[in-house]
Structure 1
Amino acid sequence: MTSEVFEYDFKVPASAIDDINHVNNVVYLQWIQDVAKKHWESKIDDYIRNTYVWVVLNHFIEYHNPAFLGDTITVRTWIDSHRGVKSERHTKVINTTTQKVLVSAKTVWCLLHKETLRPTRITDEISTLFFQNS
């Protein structure tokens, strides 16, 4: 089974720039979370949206190259694997012009039942939204 790659493109806004004139590391973390949410929301229906929610268990982030005001960015994300209540998602932040990888990240997410906030097993219904037989 393979996971589709979800992409989101944008230009670096002034609000992302720190005191040394490049994108602040905390902003990359926000982009990682934002693209995961966009990917999730692009696939789910109202029933799933109203029944489940994800929380982060951990992030591992590597910073490779800086980004600057006005740079065009592509954020790519995909789910590498899942088991039980956990899902491992990978993300790459890329400068679209230079094709340099700026940041790579691995995040482990836990699926919760929205009403009880208790961990819940990732169902086949959810899994098939993000993985294809290859």
Structure 2
Amino acid sequence: MNLIHFYRQQFLELISQFEPNWEENRNYRFGFRWNSYANSSFKEIFQMTQFPDEPLYLVYTIELPEKYKRTNIGEVVKNVSSSYELSLYLFSDKILLTSCVSIESLQQTTLGYVNQARGEIVDLVFSAIQM
């Protein structure tokens, strides 16, 4: 079993116990990807991606509706300090906030990473709304 399959199996076991709302996207071609619609305000995405000669990366994403463009979320993301690589992507109808970590820097389980990244991103969203 290679590394990406080990972490996929770990994630599957953890979500079956603690967050069964994740659905695997079997059409994702660059590793593994799951979607969650448990929160009615936003969509969550978690993916494990590995390219040849690159380490395995875990990426957690929250998809926010267009109305968040009227906040200062870009400034908040730009000025925050995180142990993960944070990115913001603007589209015409949505905003994607992503948190990425190399498996080489991972210090918890896959679901532990998702929960920590979720917490950081949700804090950013609330900070932008309050300002």
The structure whose RCO (Cα within 8 Å, separation 6+) is larger is 1
Give TM-score, length-normalised by structure 1: 0.28
- Whose strand fraction is larger, Structure 1's or Structure 2's? 1
- Bigger Rg over Cα: 1
- Whose helix fraction is larger, Structure 1's or Structure 2's? 2
